[in-house]
Amino acid sequence: MAPHPEVTAYRAARAATGTPPLYTQTLTEARAADLAAIRAGSGAVEPVAEVRDERMLGPAGELPLRVYRPAGSGPLPTLLYFFGGGWTLGSIDTADGICRRLANAVPCQVITVGYRLAPEHPFPAAVHDCHAAASWVAGHADRLGVDPDRLAVGGDSAGGNLAAAVTLLSRADGPTLAAQLLVYPNTDQSGEPTDPADDDPTLFNSRSVAWYRTHYLTDEAHAQDPLASPLLADDLTGLPPALVVTAELDPLCAQGQRYAERLAAAGVPTRVRHYPGMIHGFFAMPGVFTDGRRAQADAAAFLRERFGLAPGRDEPADDPTGTAVRGG
């Protein structure tokens, strides 16, 4: 597993500056450092035709949402995007760069929700906030300019976990979803997170995984709940088509690939886009990693296809995004 040259340079820069791992900081420090690192790595801020803030009533009070709307009138296909941060860090600002780029690249409307964070609000608060947001967006389609037949969910890391959990809830309770975009998702919290030897302090590692899990799951039994560990769900049939993005040097890589295999085995049209030599977090850092830009372009191409939109300028009409695992 040789790191990509850009990963080698990134790791050396972090080591040289003595950047402390997030799991060694207080929550306040880690939340600020996480947002600063993402902003530093996200590249230039892309303008979007309209960006506005909304609020909705969630299961335990008001939740903020941010709406990114590209040029165009009428109902638009819409992606509801859940930010990453181990259910402990992050905010709607964390996903700003991703949401702007996907809104322009697809193009589609992108909405992100400020779900409640652990440890103040442990599992399953975030899951229910995110499902409530999906239901609220679908229920306010006219007001928001959403095409209810083209509503997708997605997210990176913990956000990918939440997107997968929302599809499980939505299968039974609605709303109907057109696609799921899972970027290096955490799908199984039931055992040892990773190889204990994988503890490079300059990167997201096994200690990171354990630190986040400790904040999110207050009872070990929760790790067996499919809403915390979607890979453990008995039945994955009937879920929306999926794109799963994985990175070779990510401690979550294997469980993301296993989840894609289970989705496909259940008849869900599933693609995997795997990035050799890449690390966890690269998708949110296109200003640092060329593959971050490629992965966002892959995600946009997948959503274009699921939304029934024309291929992008540089995207062959007969060349689907990613590798089809199998499925319906």
- Report, as residue numbers or ranges, the catalytic residues: 157, 250, 280
Cis peptide bond upstream of 269, omega within 30: no
Cis amide linkage into residue 175, ω under 30° from 0: yes
Closest residue by Cα to residue 242 from 253, 226, 254, 256: 256
